[in-house]
Structure 1
Amino acid sequence: MGNRLFKEPPPPPPVVLVPPLFDFPPLAARSRMLESSYNLLFGKLALKCLFEDYFEDARHFSTRVMFKPIDDPHVDLVATVSGPLDHKPEEQIVGNALFRWQSDVDDPHTFMDLFVSNSDPILQVRSCAYYPRFGFGAFGTFPLLLAKSRASSEDYGVMGLRYGSGNLSMGATLMPFAVTDELPRTAWLVSKMGRLTAGLQYEPLYGKEDNAKYKNLQNWSCAIGYGGGFGSPLSPSFNFNLELAKSSQFIASFYQHVVVQRRVKNPLEENEVVGITNYIDFGFELQTRVDEAQTSKNNSESTFQVAASWQANKNFLLKGKIGPLSSSIALAFKSWWKPSFTFNISATRDRLTGSNSCGFGIRIEHLRGASYQRADPNYLMLTPNKEHLAEGMAWKTGKRPMLQSNVNAGNFDGLPKELRPFEKIL
C-alpha cells in the first residue's frame, strides 16, 4: 500500500549543455560607439576577430590582464604587454593600460576611458555619451601627451556626432583643434532593410586642397551586405558582403556562425546530460585592386584568406587560417575560474621562407562571468529521437532550461549576459 501512495519521482529529462562563448561580446564591441558604423558592420568586426584573435605574431608573446573591482562594477582596467621572444634592438616591449568608467553596468555605450602607454600616444582620453531613447550620441578621442611633435591632424583630437536606430546609422567626425580646412574628417550612412544592408562612407584623403575633395571618387567607399540570424549567438547566422573601397579596391567577404549539438558521454556530468552545444565559425575574404595602374605596380595588394574556428566546449578553442603567404593554427585553453585564465599558442608557416615559428599569449580576466546552461534537447537537436519528447520545464533543479520557444519570443532572462543579443542598434 505504501509503495502505491508514495511513488518515486520521475527521472529528470535529458538536457544539453550550452557553454558560453570564449569572448562575447568581444572587447572591440565595447568601444564601437567611437567608430564609424561602416567600419564595424558588413561582417568586419566578426572577420577581424576570426582572423586575428589568438593568432600571435611569429616569435612574439602577448599578455593581457582585465580586472573589475568587486565593490565598484562601473570601472575596470585592461593592461597588456607584448613584444618579441628574442631580444631585438629594433623592437621594444610595448606596455599599455586602459582605465574605463562606464555609467551603466549593462550598457557599454556611455563611458570614458584613460589610456596610457610607453609608445605614442603616451596619454589619451576617450569619451562617449549615447542616449538610446533618442538615438543620438557624441564622442571624442583626445591625445594629451605624445612622444613626438603633433605631426598629423588626428594628433589634435577627433570629435563626432552620430544617430543610430535598428535600421539606420549616420554620423560624422571632425578635428576641431587641427589647423586644417577638412570638414568633415569622415561621414557615413548605413541603412538596413530586412536582410539587406547598404552603406556609404566619405573620407577626404585624396585630392588637392583647392579642389572639392567630395568630387574625388577615391574618397568614397560603398558596401552592400546580405545576411540574417544575428539575434543571439545561440542562433546560426551568416553574412555575405561586397565592398568597393576608395574606388580602387574590391573586397568580397563571407562569414558564418554555426550552432550545432553533438552527443557526449561525460562521466563528470549528470546522467541526464546527453549532448553539448558547439560553435563553428567560418570566414573568407578576398581583396583585389581594380585600378590597372596600381595593380601593375604592386601585385601583392591582391590577396585572400580563409579561416575557421571550432569551440568544442567552454574550455577549448581551435582555429586555423590559410593565405597565399602563410598559414597559421591556434589552440586556446580557458579556465572559468574567478578570475578566468586563458592560454593560447599559435604556429605559423611562412611560405616564402619555408620557416616555422610559434607565438603564445596569456590572458587573465575578471570582467565576465559565465557558466554552463542546461537546454531542452528540442533546442537545435539535429537527429530526431525519443529524447525530443522530454518536457524540459519539468526539471526545476539547478538552472532553468532554455527552450527554443523562449529564444523565438525574445525571452533571454535564463541566459547569461554574454549569450544575450545585442541592443537594437545598427
Structure 2
Amino acid sequence: MGNLWSAVEPPPPPTMVLVPPLFDFPPLATRTRMLESSYNVLFGKLALRCLFEDYFEEAKHFSTRIMLKPIDDPHVDLIATVAGPLDHKPEEKIVGNAQFRWQSDVDDPHTFVDLFVSNTDPILLMRSCAYYPRLGLGAFGIFPVLLKQRVSCGDHSIMGLRYGSSNLSVGATVVPFSAGDELPKNAWLVSKMGRLTAGVQYEPKFGNKDEARYKNLANWSCAIGYGLGSSSPLSPSFNFGLELAKNSQFIASFYQHVVVQRRVKNPLEENEIVGITNYIDFGFELQTGVDDDKSSNNIQDSTFQVAASWQANKNFLIKGKVGPLSSSIALAFKSWWKPSFTLSVSAVRDRTKAETAFGFGIRVDNIREASYQRTDPNFVMLTPNKEHLAEGICWKIGKRPVLQSDVKSGNFDGMPKELRPLNKIL
C-alpha cells in the first residue's frame, strides 16, 4: 500500500511549438549570386525579386520545374524547366531548358560550374565561378557557346573579378572578345557600415565611343539602404532602400520579414502542440522618373507595386500583389516528401481589359532540404519532424500560454546551412 500511495505520476510531456520550414529557402538565386554585381542583389533587391515574382505565373501560361540531385553525389544537380501557353498559339512556343551544375563544396555555393541548354538563345551556355574565402577573391565567367546569332555585346563572353568581405564588395566585368567597346562592361563598389549599406555601379551604355563614358551620369547608379536583422528566416528582418538609377529614375523600396507564433486550433494535433510559427513577408517598391522632360504623372514614368505573403504552415502559402494596371493572387501547396512537390495557381486581374486569367505551376525539388535543428536553449529544435520544445520561452496570460522565440543571440553555428545568415560575404 505504501508503494501505491508513494507512486509519482510521470510528468506531462513538454509543450511544443511547430516551426515549419520555409517554402523556398535558400532562394535559388543565391546559388548564382557570385555571377552578379553585388549592387544588384543587395539593398533588399533579391528578397523583393522573390516576393514579387515567385509563384506568380504568367496569365494563361503554365510552368514546370524539376530540381533533382543524386544521393550518391551531392556535388551535382540538375534543374529542368518547361513553360508555355495553356492554349496553343502559333506565335508562342513551349520553351524548355535544363541546367547541369557541379559544386565544389556542398555547403558553399560560390565555387561551381554549370551548363545551360535551351531550345532558345542561348542554346548552350557555360557559367563558372571560383571563390577563395580566405583571400576574399573570386573570378567568374559567362560563356555563350552556341547562339543562332550574335547581335549585342551580351551575346559574347563576360569575365569578371571581385573581392568580397563582410563589409566591402568591389568588382568589375569585361567583354574580352568584343572589339570597340570601352572597358569595363560593369563595375561596382558596395560598402556596409553597421546597419547602413551604400553602393555605386557603373554601366557604360550611354554616350559615344569617342568620349569618356564615365563622365556621363546616365551610366552611373547609386543606392543606400538600411538593414536590420539577419538573413536567417528564423530572425525577423527589415530593409529599406533608396536608389537613383541611370540618373533618370528614382526607386524607393521596403521589405520586411516577420516571424510570428500563433495558437494551434487544429484538432488533429496532439495536446502538447500549443503553437505554430508563421512567416509573413511584405514589400513595397516605387519607381518614378526624375527627368524634367517627362511628366511624372505618366503611368509609364511612375509606377509602384505592393506585395505580401503568408505561410500558414509547412504546406500552404498565399501571396498577393497590387500594381497600377493589374492585381495578382497566388496559392501554393507543398508536400514535404523526398523529393518535395509544389502545386501553385495564380489569378491575374488586368484592370485595363477587365479580364481575369489564371496560371499554373508545378515544382519538384530535392536540392534544398529542410532539417531545422538548433541547440540554443531559448529556441530548441530537437526532433526530426521540425517540432520545437517551448520550455523556457513560455509564460502565461490568464490561462492560455503565449509563446515567443528568442533568436537574437546571433549564434548560428549549431544551425543547418539553410538557416545560417550569409554574413561572411557582402
TM-score, normalising length: structure 2: 0.92
Which residue is equivalent to 2:14?
Answer: 13
Which residue is equivalent to 2:249?
Answer: 249
Deviation at 1:298, TM superposition (A): 6.0
1:210-268 CA-to-partner distances (Å, cap 9, x unmatched) read 10000000000000001210242111111111000000000000000000000003333
C-alpha distance 296-271 of structure 1, shift in aligned 2 (>3 A): closer
CA distance in 2, matches of 1:236, 1:383: 23
CA distance in 2, matches of 1:67, 1:286: 37
Which residue is equivalent to 1:404?
Answer: 406
C-alpha distance 233-297 of structure 1, shift in aligned 2 (>3 A): closer
| SS class of match (1:154) | helix
Which residue is equivalent to 2:190?
Answer: 190
Which residue is equivalent to 2:179?
Answer: 179
After superposition, where does 1:262-301 map in structure 2 within 5 Å?
262-295=262-295, 299-301=299-301
Deviation at 1:199, TM superposition (A): 0.5
Which residue is equivalent to 1:302?
Answer: 302
Which residue is equivalent to 1:82?
Answer: 83
Which residue is equivalent to 1:135?
Answer: 136
Please tell me whether the aligned partners of residues 69 and 77 of structure 2 are also in contact (alpha carbons under 8 angstroms): yes
Which residue is equivalent to 2:122?
Answer: 121
CA distance in 1, matches of 2:303, 2:112: 38
Which residue is equivalent to 1:210?
Answer: 210
Deviation at 1:120, TM superposition (A): 0.2
Residue type of the alignment partner of 1:97: A
C-alpha distance 155-196 of structure 1, shift in aligned 2 (>3 A): same
CA distance in 2, matches of 1:382, 1:349: 45
1:300-328 CA-to-partner distances (Å, cap 9, x unmatched) read 13100000000000100000000000000
CA distance in 2, matches of 1:10, 1:409: 33
CA distance in 1, matches of 2:7, 2:79: 57
Deviation at 1:4, TM superposition (A): 6.2
After superposition, where does 1:135-154 map in structure 2 within 5 Å?
135-148=136-149, 150-154=150-154
C-alpha distance 261-79 of structure 1, shift in aligned 2 (>3 A): same
C-alpha distance 103-291 of structure 1, shift in aligned 2 (>3 A): same
C-alpha distance 5-137 of structure 1, shift in aligned 2 (>3 A): farther
Structure 1: runs of 5+ lacking an equivalent: 391-401
Please tell me whether the aligned partners of residues 394 and 402 of structure 2 are also in contact (alpha carbons under 8 angstroms): no
Judge which range, 360-369 or 333-342, deviates more: 360-369
The size of the alignment, in residue pairs, is 412
Deviation at 1:272, TM superposition (A): 1.2
CA distance in 1, matches of 2:352, 2:236: 37
Please tell me whether the aligned partners of residues 154 and 178 of structure 1 are also in contact (alpha carbons under 8 angstroms): no
Please tell me whether the aligned partners of residues 14 and 390 of structure 2 are also in contact (alpha carbons under 8 angstroms): no
C-alpha distance 258-369 of structure 1, shift in aligned 2 (>3 A): same
Q: Is the helix fraction higher in 1 or 2?
A: 1
Which residue is equivalent to 1:374?
Answer: 387
Residue type of the alignment partner of 1:159: M
C-alpha distance 115-377 of structure 1, shift in aligned 2 (>3 A): same
CA distance in 2, matches of 1:17, 1:124: 43
Which residue is equivalent to 1:334?
Answer: 334
Residue type of the alignment partner of 2:309: S
Deviation at 1:271, TM superposition (A): 1.9
TM-score, normalising length: structure 1: 0.92
CA distance in 1, matches of 2:313, 2:19: 8
Please tell me whether the aligned partners of residues 21 and 419 of structure 1 are also in contact (alpha carbons under 8 angstroms): no
CA distance in 1, matches of 2:296, 2:333: 44
Residue type of the alignment partner of 1:112: V
Deviation at 1:165, TM superposition (A): 0.8
| SS class of match (2:47) | helix
Which residue is equivalent to 2:157?
Answer: 157
CA distance in 1, matches of 2:218, 2:298: 18
C-alpha distance 208-379 of structure 1, shift in aligned 2 (>3 A): farther
Deviation at 1:180, TM superposition (A): 2.5
Residue type of the alignment partner of 2:221: S
* 1:24 aligned onto 2:37: no
CA distance in 1, matches of 2:400, 2:136: 46
CA distance in 1, matches of 2:300, 2:393: 43
CA distance in 2, matches of 1:303, 1:403: 38
Please tell me whether the aligned partners of residues 202 and 219 of structure 1 are also in contact (alpha carbons under 8 angstroms): yes
Deviation at 1:13, TM superposition (A): 1.6
| SS class of match (1:7) | coil
C-alpha distance 73-386 of structure 1, shift in aligned 2 (>3 A): farther
Please tell me whether the aligned partners of residues 14 and 387 of structure 1 are also in contact (alpha carbons under 8 angstroms): no
Deviation at 1:2, TM superposition (A): 2.6
CA distance in 2, matches of 1:192, 1:56: 35
CA distance in 2, matches of 1:281, 1:35: 24
Please tell me whether the aligned partners of residues 63 and 362 of structure 2 are also in contact (alpha carbons under 8 angstroms): yes
Please tell me whether the aligned partners of residues 65 and 80 of structure 1 are also in contact (alpha carbons under 8 angstroms): yes
| SS class of match (2:300) | helix
Q: Give structure 1 regions of 4+ aligned residues with deviation exceeding 6 angstroms.
A: 378-383, 385-390
CA distance in 2, matches of 1:290, 1:382: 53
Please tell me whether the aligned partners of residues 131 and 138 of structure 2 are also in contact (alpha carbons under 8 angstroms): yes
1:33-84 CA-to-partner distances (Å, cap 9, x unmatched) read 0000000001111001000000001100000000000111000000000011
Residue type of the alignment partner of 1:374: E
Deviation at 1:373, TM superposition (A): 2.4
CA distance in 2, matches of 1:322, 1:218: 30
